[in-house]
A and B are shown apart, each in its own frame.
Chain A
């Protein structure tokens, strides 16, 4: 006897309800506790419920009156089964498509780690110098890596850097064309923006759930995909925005002189949108760094593992120092890309 019994009596659905037979699935936690406490003996009439405590007609409540209605637990199980059912065919398509990502991540990781420190650190400093042409930033890069190497965090930092390197390249390779397509078609923009919004608002852990089922945790592409999905959004958005913001007068001039669409795109729109695209790449790098820490939950190597160890084993010092190293990495990546961006900016808008 439950609250909503009357409802099914009145609507004449009683026979349909009883055809559902007794509940088969596993007990819910609430039922288990109730049984353990012996507060409710099965078959005994339920105490009448006061009006103010009438429960919401949810799946579980209705199930008490009508066993044909699934319980909440059955519903989540159905979702799970549905997901598992499409998992195999999905894997057939996605596995070969994403396999190159695993290879790239692994090669890059091997490459970065195999390079001895006395080559790697000067190389990074030289790259910083040629992309920024700023002494301050270059010195900061040099000092940061020397510091991290000195405190034995060099290997982790270089792993993290390698993952960001690969994920950023792929984000740009995919994101810039998507952004261009969005800027050229309003329909495309309308369709893409909700997806981007979703990718940005989805809690980062939720990304990992379907990925864990789809791919094995030992594969590098698992964290690669999670990072790329999260980090690709700004470069797409800012490419689209940058191209749409190109001065209408300049576009009109390009049209008036008979430029083809291709000439206009690569000769005018993309070069003039470059400052915005670079700002998008800067954001993409920062977001991959944020995600690479969370991705250590699914076996991404690097500084994130140390942070995780700090939490798991309550090694406060390790966690804090690893956290500080991440901040250091973030600062030098941000400074370098911003300084490089500044150079592009000044060459476009002199």
Chain B
């Protein structure tokens, strides 16, 4: 990740406490009381604690955690469907917590759009009306709304369903409408709250591919919430792992996979197919020295599975790693095999929070 990309959304020292008097509880939390103790002694739930995340423009930031980890609460702070107990949410350099009602509505109408786990389409409007809804809310003409709605419905593969009602469509198709609705607002930021979790696995893969395809073209700033590690690894440019309302590790997904800094994450990643997820670029030796006895060239973005297939399983081979026709490193098959073994917690010195 390079530092020259703009930071679109910046979340600073964010806390959320649920209960009757959250402000009073902030002091206890700052003094270091834990989530279970706060619940037991004061009857308040610590939803989020000290969250610091920078979300970069044009990237997919995936926030992953199990249920109850606070990920859905967190994403709702970005467009202030939930107000924090303490902290800052800065979008395009402005603190959205300082916004009044009118400015907030403007932000939600123009800058952000959202896709929901349960689709949340308007059941009494046609698919076309749903898709163009964000335009209508802004007060744009029906003509523009329909044109934009139509355009994005076609883009997500729902041409011909304009006059249907959401209830007549399958789950996958409904979520396509949800995505078309979010896209037609032409906002820079898209919030996706477990957008694909309610879909069955095959359709989910389709939708992930659709999202990646759209993203290659549109370069939106996407915040994606999921509980599914495979999905997170597939989509993420930047991965944030949340547990009990706190960020336990964030960074490039490949990096988290190779250097997990917490037992929880180690448990979490122990079951995934590392050969499919890891890419050549993450485990190669970065060098421009021409190696000896090379058996061929591989691309930096290839996953290990495909390299194993090419090598026929021989661990003595070495490959030149290419990116855009240039050598960027050397891949040693021994490193590759080693990378397939789930890692123990990385050396504390190498931990990055």
Contacts and interface: CB of A to CB of B under 8 A. Distances in A.
Contact of A250 (B105, B114, B120): B120
B133 interface: yes
B81 A256 contact: yes
Given A257-B133, A260-B105, A268 B120 contact: no
A271 B107 CA distance: 26
Given A253-B114, A258-B106, A349-B167, A263 B137 contact: yes
A257 B116 contact: no
Q: Which of A247, A253, A260, A349 has the most CB of B within 10 A?
A: A253
A256 B79 contact: yes
Central interface residue in B112, B119, B124, B185, by most chain A CB within 10 Å: B124
Contact of A259 (B119, B137, B185): B137
A257 B113 contact: yes
A272 B123 CA distance: 8
B42 interface: no
A347 interface: yes
A348 interface: yes
Contact of B124 (A258, A260, A263, A271): A271
A257 B121 CA distance: 12
Interface residues of B, number: 30
A249 interface: yes
Nearest to A271: B124
Interface string B335-353: 0000000000000000000
B122 A268 contact: yes
Interface in A216-256: 247, 249-250, 252-256
Contacts of A271: 124
A258 B105 contact: yes
Given A252-B116, A350-B167, A257 B134 contact: yes
B108 interface: yes
B120 A252 contact: yes
B105 A252 contact: no
B108 A258 contact: yes
Interface string A315-350: 000000000000000000000000000000001111
Measured as residues with beta carbon below 8 angstroms from the partner, the interface class of chain A is 20 to 34
B114 A257 contact: yes
A108 to B, nearest CB: 33
Contacts, number: 63
The B interface, classified by DSSP as helix, strand, loop or mixed, is mixed
A250 B79 CA distance: 16
A256 B119 CA distance: 13
A247 B120 contact: yes
A260 B102 CA distance: 9
A348 B124 CA distance: 5
Candidate in A256, A271, A350 with the most chain B CB atoms within 10 angstroms: A256
Interface in B133-161: 133-134, 137-138
A271 B124 CA distance: 7
Contacts of A260: 105
B109 interface: yes
B150 to A, nearest CB: 18
A277 B119 CA distance: 25
A97 B219 CA distance: 63
B120 A249 contact: yes
B124 A253 contact: no
Interface string B163-189: 001011000000000000100010000
A259 to B, nearest CB: 5
Contacts of B185: 257
Contacts of B110: 258
A348 B108 CA distance: 26
A350 B123 contact: yes
B340 to A, nearest CB: 41
B81 A255 contact: yes
A178 to B, nearest CB: 23
Contacts of B12: none
Nearest to A253: B120
Contacts of B112: 256
B187 to A, nearest CB: 10
Given A249-B118, A253-B114, A258 B137 contact: yes
Interface in A12-28: none
Interface string A248-290: 0110111111111001000010011000000000000000000
Max chain B C-beta neighbours (<10 A), residue from A249, A254, A257, A268: A257
B119 to A, nearest CB: 8
A249 B112 CA distance: 17
Contact of A253 (B106, B116, B167): B116
A122 B162 CA distance: 39
B194 to A, nearest CB: 12
Contacts of A247: 120
Contact of B109 (A253, A258, A272): A258
A215 B198 CA distance: 62
A347 B122 CA distance: 12
B124 A272 contact: yes
A257 B124 contact: no
A250 B124 CA distance: 11
Q: Which 6 A-B pairs have the closest CB atoms?
A: A258-B108, A258-B109, A253-B120, A256-B114, A249-B120, A350-B165
17 contacts: A249-B120, A250-B120, A253-B114, A256-B79, A256-B113, A256-B191, A257-B109, A257-B133, A258-B104, A258-B106, A258-B107, A258-B110, A260-B105, A271-B124, A272-B124, A347-B124, A348-B124
Interface of A: 247, 249-250, 252-260, 263, 268, 271-272, 347-350
Interface of B: 79, 81, 104-110, 112-114, 116, 118-124, 133-134, 137-138, 165, 167-168, 181, 185, 191
Given A252-B81, A253-B120, A255-B81, 4 more contacts: A250-B122, A253-B116, A257-B181, A347-B124
